[in-house]
Amino acid sequence: MSIHPSAVIAPGAVVPASCTVGPYSTIGPDVVLDEECVLISHVVLDGRTRIGKRNMFYPFGAIGVAPQDLKYKGEPTETVIGDDNTIRECVTISRGTEGGGGLTRIGSGNLLMAYVHIGHDSIVGNHCILANAATLAGHVVIEDYASVGAFSPVHQHCTVGQYAFIGGGTIVTQDVLPFSLTSSRRENKAFGINKVGLTRRGFSPERLQTLQKAFRTLLAAKLNTTQALEKIKAMEGEDAAILATFVERSQRGIIK
């Protein structure tokens, strides 16, 4: 086990021998690490926090700390992190609250760039990218393969759909459509599908064509949302069904 003499590991913490704990890092008594995690230096792991394999924590991150919620009174809530995440400098991840389900969850294979904040009771899926200073208020859901641009705040209770790409500096106050390219110029708009990102993820030309047709129906056709969804549901392929289901389940409305 590689533990720097200046690191502080509380009794009760679980730190496997394959982990590396760098200078001035602190690990609380209820933290459980899996194999091959690396804390480079000055990392704080706190609260009831369970962390998977091969996670890399860069300096000055604060993970599993108490939520920024005045209603929180020290309840034993949790933070759960999957495998193979890269968590860069000054990232903050708050544990859950009793009123929000008691759990903040991060999946696997994510890149959280410097100064990202993930608020209490948020859920981040797998293979997501949150660019510098992206900020998730409490109760936000980021689905698999989504990207949130730099300096983009996401309002409480919003959902960012799978494979969505949010441009930098976009203020997100409604749900972001899956597969979409959404950005802010003078106002937030969905500009169709995230074609470059979807192609990089292996989407076939046929899948892209179906998604383009579905997005034109939803965003550009002279139809109300109910009429557009009827046409989208009639299209072939799982992707169109995912898009229609996302719109129907939205609680905050969608960015069109």
pLDDT exceeds 70 at position 60: yes
- pTM over cut 0.85: yes
**Can you give the pLDDT at residue 192?**
86
pLDDT exceeds 80 at position 189: no
Residue holding tokens 């309002």?
A: 155
Catalytic site residue from 42, 117, 120, 139: 120
Catalytic site residue from 30, 34, 46, 121: 121
* Distance (Å, whole) CA 244 – CA 115: 34
> Span 41-52, mean pLDDT?
98
Tell me what percent of the residues of the chain surpass a pLDDT of 70.
Answer: 98
pLDDT exceeds 60 at position 229: yes
Lowest mean pLDDT among 7-16, 40-49, 175-184, 219-228: 219-228
Q: Dihedral of CA 209/210/212/217: which sign?
A: positive
Write down the mean pLDDT value for the chain: 95
121 is catalytic: yes
pLDDT per position as a tens digit, 92-126: 999 999 999 999 999 999 999 999 999 999 999 99
Q: Residue 91: helix, strand or coil by DSSP?
A: coil
Q: Dihedral of CA 151/155/156/161: which sign?
A: negative
**Can you give the pLDDT at residue 191?**
82
**Can you give the pLDDT at residue 222?**
86
Q: Which long-range contacts (CB under 8 A, 24 or more apart) does 66-72 make?
A: 66/94, 66/95, 67/94, 67/95, 67/96, 67/97, 67/119, 67/120, 67/121, 67/138, 68/94, 68/119, 68/120, 69/97, 69/120, 69/138, 71/97, 71/99, 72/97, 72/98, 72/120
**Can you give the pLDDT at residue 185?**
64
Domains of the chain: 2-142 (2.160.10.10), 198-249 (1.20.1180.10)
Q: Identify the burial level of 11 via C-beta atoms within 10 angstroms of its C-beta, where 0-12 means exposed, 13-18 middle and 19 or more buried.
A: exposed
Catalytic site residue from 47, 119, 138, 197: 138
138 is catalytic: yes
